[in-house]
Chains A and B, each alone.
Chain A
Amino acid sequence: MNLKAKHVMISAITTGALVSVLAGCGTTTSTGSSNTTTGSGNAAASNSSSKSNSSSTSNETLVIYSAQGYDQAMADAFQKKTGIKVKLVDDSTGNIVAKMEAEKSNPHWDVAWFDGASTMQGLDNQGMLLTGWTPNDVSNYTSQGQSLIPSDKAYYPTGVTAAAAIGYNNKLVDAAHAPKDWSDLLNPYFKGAVGMNDPSISGPTFPYVAGMLQLKGTTAGEQFFMDLKNNGLKVFPTNGDTLNALVKGQIKVATIQDTALLKGKLKGDPITLVYPSSGTFSMATTISIDKNAPDMAAAKKFVEFVLSQQGQQVMLNPANGGSDSYYSPIIKGVSANPARVQSGINWVPVNPVQAAQNETQIKTWFHENITN
């Protein structure tokens, strides 16, 4: 009896202690995480509190969710220039969007930055993004850049890459058979030797598939992928896997994002890069601001910094961004990395509104008919 009474008491004390520990962690911003990393881990908590009483914005902290290789360098450069503290969450586009969607009733981010206008459009469709805002230097956009700005101004393009280009292993493909356009890949010479990524897994591959359906029309576009499949198309998860297969000789041709092919080529891999003559699907890297950004002013400053000459130079340095730095700039007076071929590319912009609308449908079709 005595023993049991004592035990109930212990249980009660434990319970009380747990509750108070939890409560303590939520209210104070310095003690909660003292046993793990430094107190700065509570940026998000302080953000949400600054959001609930927006009068106190004494210590500006900008939270950026990004999938871009050069994001850390940009955060550092921006912090140095403005003195605004930047906290970065760098992850794949999939994880970034998953986080944003899960947070949407109580968002923690100020700026989101990743490849793929259709994905960004999907977030815009849910009313998550700041609309109607125009950055200072918007007139600095090239005409290609201007064409990529959506009518509600919910997001801005920061650069362009090819969602897919043709890269062939020049040790395995002789000059006579070098492909020049999409249709060349149906040649029996390439039987079982063409690879691409799975649009359900790889971010840039969805605009590639959607772009093909847009360029050739849905029926003919689907037929093209069916024909590729009949010619032994191999579908890998992401750029890295397909590139690996190309380099190892498992396939002779890869149709993947041009920046990945270019980086492999510059690393010394035997790759020749071709932009298909009938059309190369452009994929915009897009940046947006949270509709209820806790630090709206800082967020706007950051977007303007990205679109400035100074910001673009940071992004273009491969030491900062790896393969992402080989993008094609869309700001006047900014030139691409010299390794990149810029002339003679027949850009076909993919309509993000339409692509976002048909995303599930197209991915399901591809999965059921091509991947499987």
Chain B
Amino acid sequence: MKLKLRRGSMKTSPTNRSRKLSRGWAYAVPSLLVLCVLVLYPLATLFVQTFLPHLFDVHMSLKPSIEPLIQSFSDKLNYESLVNSFVMGLFASIAATVVGTLTAFGSVRAPSRYQRVLDTLVWVVFFAPSYVIAEGWLQFLQDGGIASQLFGLPNGWAAWFFTKPGLVVLMGLRYFPFVHLAMTPAIKNMGGQFERAARSMGAGKGRVFWRITFPLLAPATLAGASIAFAEGFGDFGFASAIAPTVHIPLLTYQIYSALNQAPVNYAAAGSLSLVLVVVMGAVLWFQMWWLKRRSYTTVSSSTSWNESTRVVKVQWYTTVSFILAGVSVVIPVLSTIATSMWKTGADGIQGANWTLHAYAKVLQTGSDGLASLERSIVYSAVAAVVTMIIALYVSYQLSRRDTLGMRFVNVITMATIAVPGVVLAAGFIFAWNAVWLIPIHLVLYGTSLCLGMAYIAGSLPYAIRLDLGAISQLSPNLMTAAQVLGAKERVVMSRIVLPLIGGTIVSTFFIALTGTMFELPASSLLYPAGEPPFPVEIQQQFNAFNFNVGSAMATIGMLIVFIMYGVGRYVATRMRFVGGARVKKSHLVKQQELITGEETGSPQMAGE
């Protein structure tokens, strides 16, 4: 195992360096351009209003003002909400890390059929939309809700869940899949040889964990934890459904209310979002700095273990994992399904109250629900394919070229993970409806193309981070060796990189797919008039108090995503088989196949 070489540490002579750096920007151009169109330009139009509040007025004015900034920072509620969001995000991330680490070990070191069930459970939590999970928990926990009907509990039994610690627990159960998905491949790649070596030298179990296992997994843990933090800190769907009931002011909620309540205040939304992005940027930068200190390559060209990963004994942590993952899926999802099958909310679980009427209503031919579902399926499929391709391109460039330009791209993709959907969507209006686009006929706002771009922009940063995590686990020696042996870049990509990170690429596809299927803020602010997508229709049902129809639509959406996931997994497995057959000729890649071991098709998520 080589731990010396770092990504991008190819030898460069000093004379070459300046030429390389300048050309570095040329390499970065396509990646930068994509990010500009999709992320930077829209965000800039919003942020700039912090200083130019009248830029998008009926009569454009370039008069600068720091009034919005002063206003935002003199509001004590904003401070309170910043602190709350930070603390909640932090604790939610810790809770998610504990649960996610447990389930990752529980999954990797379990017999494979248990593994499959557990991974699937985690995936359901991962792709189920936040607001559905939140509504599900509410239906279950609230006074007179499903739990109290089932067990005859008095009002106020679940009061604890509607406090800050309770919310942290629910958020931990919501965000642990990020940690799980980041840790699973890392634990797999780590194998057991280091632990066994330490054990044979006489180290105790605890010592092995703290001195070997834990440090080796630090990058994956940090990557998962920081994304969980970003989600907890920046997520709106989950917090907004539960938090207003408990009246904990949160930063995303402050941003939302600046955008969404009369009088609308985009300048305030811009300045608060700027705060959000800065905090997130700092956290992710810390993660990067930590990881930069040394290499964590676990898949290198000289690794060769083919130990049997067949496990028979079920460990205690596998059992606990099943309970945790089960609770986090079964309760909210079943609550949603139950709600979708009630005639009236008041009668709840009483025998005569069950019906499939809501489903019939949604699936009626020619209904608005069905039309919007079809639209969203097309949007999701297109956005997923495009996101997958762009993410692969950008992350490959990022991992291969350590130039100033690419570093800039890297920072952008990290910072934008933090941007809440509603902020990005508002930015899209300003950016793609701006008056300066009228003469050049580039007013994209109001078209389905604009909404599609916003969907891609929403998933792209995640997809890039995921791909990058997987690619950076590959030792640069692999690629360099192939190139030395005369392989062109295209060949390196298709014969080495693609087969090795195939599972992750499939994951990016599903992130974009499910993200688009249930994305609410961009959908509602950007959809072309007269053509609402699925999430807008779901929200309209909830707004009109048709909880059963709304829940039925959400259930149908989840079912469709679940079926697509099943098909995708099947296809990925087949592809791996075909790929495996093809690369049999190449000794190098054959060796790699051994390294990745089984289950390459399983969802993976890894940070750098």
Interface size on B, as a range, is: 35 or more
Query: Which of B33, B34, B261, B488 contacts A363 (CB under 8 A)?
Result: B261
Asked if B525 and A98 make an inter-chain contact with CB atoms under 8 angstroms apart, the answer reads yes
How far in angstroms is the closest Cβ of chain B from A116?
Answer: 8
Binds B, one of A134-142, A238-246, A303-311: A238-246
User: Please, which residue of chain B has its CB at the minimum distance from the CB of A13?
Assistant: B30
Indicate if A235 sits at the interface (CB-CB under 8 A): yes
Query: CA A99 – CA B429 in complex, angstroms?
Result: 8
Asked if A122 and B263 make an inter-chain contact with CB atoms under 8 angstroms apart, the answer reads yes
Q: A95-B260, A249-B143 are in contact. Are A235 and B247 (CB under 8 A)?
A: yes
Chain A residues numbered 1-50 whose CB sits less than 8 Å from any CB in chain B: 3-4, 7-8, 11-12, 14-15, 18-19, 22-23, 25-27, 32-33, 35-37, 40-45, 47-49
Asked if A105 and B60 make an inter-chain contact with CB atoms under 8 angstroms apart, the answer reads yes
Query: CA A41 – CA B446 in complex, angstroms?
Result: 7
Query: CA A198 – CA B249 in complex, angstroms?
Result: 13
Asked if A89 and B244 make an inter-chain contact with CB atoms under 8 angstroms apart, the answer reads no
User: Please, which residue of chain A has its CB at the minimum distance from the CB of B258?
Assistant: A98
Indicate if A329 sits at the interface (CB-CB under 8 A): no
Query: Which of B155, B441, B536 contacts A49 (CB under 8 A)?
Result: B441
Binds A, one of B85-93, B198-206, B432-440, B507-515: B432-440
Asked if B528 and A44 make an inter-chain contact with CB atoms under 8 angstroms apart, the answer reads yes
Binds A, one of B180-188, B227-235, B540-548, B574-582: B540-548
Asked if B529 and A89 make an inter-chain contact with CB atoms under 8 angstroms apart, the answer reads yes
Asked if B56 and A239 make an inter-chain contact with CB atoms under 8 angstroms apart, the answer reads no
Interface string of B261-298 (1 = CB under 8 A from A): 11110100000000000000000000000000000000
Asked if B264 and A11 make an inter-chain contact with CB atoms under 8 angstroms apart, the answer reads no
Interface string of B345-360 (1 = CB under 8 A from A): 1100000000000000
Q: A7-B27, A33-B447 are in contact. Are A95 and B524 (CB under 8 A)?
A: yes
Asked if B438 and A52 make an inter-chain contact with CB atoms under 8 angstroms apart, the answer reads yes
Binds B, one of A148-156, A176-184, A262-270, A340-348: A262-270
Asked if A44 and B529 make an inter-chain contact with CB atoms under 8 angstroms apart, the answer reads yes
Asked if B443 and A237 make an inter-chain contact with CB atoms under 8 angstroms apart, the answer reads no
Chain A residues numbered 69-106 whose CB sits less than 8 Å from any CB in chain B: 69, 72, 86-92, 94-95, 97-99, 101-106
Query: CA A359 – CA B27 in complex, angstroms?
Result: 52
Asked if A244 and B261 make an inter-chain contact with CB atoms under 8 angstroms apart, the answer reads no
Contacts of A104 in B (CB 8 A): 56-58
Query: CA A18 – CA B249 in complex, angstroms?
Result: 42
How far in angstroms is the closest Cβ of chain A from B449?
Answer: 5
Indicate if B245 sits at the interface (CB-CB under 8 A): yes
Interface string of B44-80 (1 = CB under 8 A from A): 0000000000001110100000000000000001000
Contacts of A206 in B (CB 8 A): 262
Asked if A15 and B528 make an inter-chain contact with CB atoms under 8 angstroms apart, the answer reads no
Q: A18-B37, A103-B429 are in contact. Are A43 and B244 (CB under 8 A)?
A: no
Indicate if B315 sits at the interface (CB-CB under 8 A): no
Indicate if A218 sits at the interface (CB-CB under 8 A): no
How far in angstroms is the closest Cβ of chain A from B383?
Answer: 9
Asked if B262 and A122 make an inter-chain contact with CB atoms under 8 angstroms apart, the answer reads yes
Binds A, one of B4-12, B374-382, B599-607: B374-382
Query: CA A18 – CA B247 in complex, angstroms?
Result: 46
Interface string of A182-217 (1 = CB under 8 A from B): 000000000000000010110000100000000000
Asked if B449 and A97 make an inter-chain contact with CB atoms under 8 angstroms apart, the answer reads no
Contacts of A119 in B (CB 8 A): 262
Asked if B345 and A247 make an inter-chain contact with CB atoms under 8 angstroms apart, the answer reads yes
Query: Which of A27, A88, A91 contacts B530 (CB under 8 A)?
Result: A88
Chain A residues numbered 318-372 whose CB sits less than 8 Å from any CB in chain B: 322-323, 356, 359-360, 363-364, 367-368, 371-372
Contacts of A89 in B (CB 8 A): 527, 529-530, 532
How far in angstroms is the closest Cβ of chain B from A133?
Answer: 18
Contacts of B307 in A (CB 8 A): none
User: Please, which residue of chain B has its CB at the minimum distance from the CB of A128?
Assistant: B58
Indicate if A163 sits at the interface (CB-CB under 8 A): no
A-B interface contact total, Cβ < 8 Å: 235
The residue in A47, A99, A249 that gathers the most chain B C-beta atoms within 10 A of its C-beta is A99
Indicate if B211 sits at the interface (CB-CB under 8 A): no
If over half of A's interface residues share one DSSP class (helix, strand or loop), that class is named, otherwise mixed; here it is: helix
Asked if B263 and A99 make an inter-chain contact with CB atoms under 8 angstroms apart, the answer reads no
Indicate if A254 sits at the interface (CB-CB under 8 A): no
Chain B residues numbered 417-462 whose CB sits less than 8 Å from any CB in chain A: 426, 429-430, 433-435, 437-438, 440-449, 451-452
Contacts of A198 in B (CB 8 A): 244
Asked if A41 and B528 make an inter-chain contact with CB atoms under 8 angstroms apart, the answer reads yes
Asked if A88 and B529 make an inter-chain contact with CB atoms under 8 angstroms apart, the answer reads yes
Asked if B26 and A106 make an inter-chain contact with CB atoms under 8 angstroms apart, the answer reads no
Query: CA A12 – CA B446 in complex, angstroms?
Result: 30
Indicate if B195 sits at the interface (CB-CB under 8 A): no
Query: CA A194 – CA B435 in complex, angstroms?
Result: 49
Indicate if B306 sits at the interface (CB-CB under 8 A): no
Asked if A101 and B264 make an inter-chain contact with CB atoms under 8 angstroms apart, the answer reads yes
Asked if A48 and B434 make an inter-chain contact with CB atoms under 8 angstroms apart, the answer reads no
Indicate if B29 sits at the interface (CB-CB under 8 A): yes
Q: A106-B438, A122-B263 are in contact. Are A244 and B345 (CB under 8 A)?
A: yes
Query: CA A122 – CA B263 in complex, angstroms?
Result: 7
Indicate if A280 sits at the interface (CB-CB under 8 A): no
Indicate if A144 sits at the interface (CB-CB under 8 A): no
Indicate if B598 sits at the interface (CB-CB under 8 A): no
Query: CA A22 – CA B441 in complex, angstroms?
Result: 10
How far in angstroms is the closest Cβ of chain B from A216?
Answer: 23
Asked if A106 and B435 make an inter-chain contact with CB atoms under 8 angstroms apart, the answer reads yes
Indicate if A131 sits at the interface (CB-CB under 8 A): no
Asked if A3 and B429 make an inter-chain contact with CB atoms under 8 angstroms apart, the answer reads no
Asked if B536 and A91 make an inter-chain contact with CB atoms under 8 angstroms apart, the answer reads yes
Chain A residues numbered 116-131 whose CB sits less than 8 Å from any CB in chain B: 116, 118-119, 122, 126-128
Contacts of A323 in B (CB 8 A): 544-545
How far in angstroms is the closest Cβ of chain A from B484?
Answer: 13
Indicate if A299 sits at the interface (CB-CB under 8 A): no
Asked if B244 and A237 make an inter-chain contact with CB atoms under 8 angstroms apart, the answer reads yes
Query: Which of A64, A86, A250, A363 contacts B142 (CB under 8 A)?
Result: A250
Asked if A37 and B375 make an inter-chain contact with CB atoms under 8 angstroms apart, the answer reads yes
Asked if A260 and B525 make an inter-chain contact with CB atoms under 8 angstroms apart, the answer reads no
Interface string of B17-42 (1 = CB under 8 A from A): 00000010011011001100100000
| A/B interface sample: 27 pairs, CB < 8 A | A4-B23, A14-B30, A23-B442, A33-B449, A36-B452, A37-B378, A43-B446, A43-B530, A45-B444, A45-B447, A89-B530, A94-B261, A98-B426, A101-B266, A102-B433, A104-B58, A106-B435, A108-B529, A118-B262, A122-B262, A200-B261, A206-B262, A240-B543, A245-B142, A260-B545, A269-B344, A323-B545
Given contacts A11-B30, A102-B525, A105-B433, 6 further A-B contacts (CB under 8 A): A22-B37, A101-B266, A105-B58, A248-B144, A264-B545, A267-B344
7 closest Cβ contacts across the A-B interface?
A44-B446, A248-B144, A41-B448, A87-B530, A87-B529, A94-B260, A26-B442
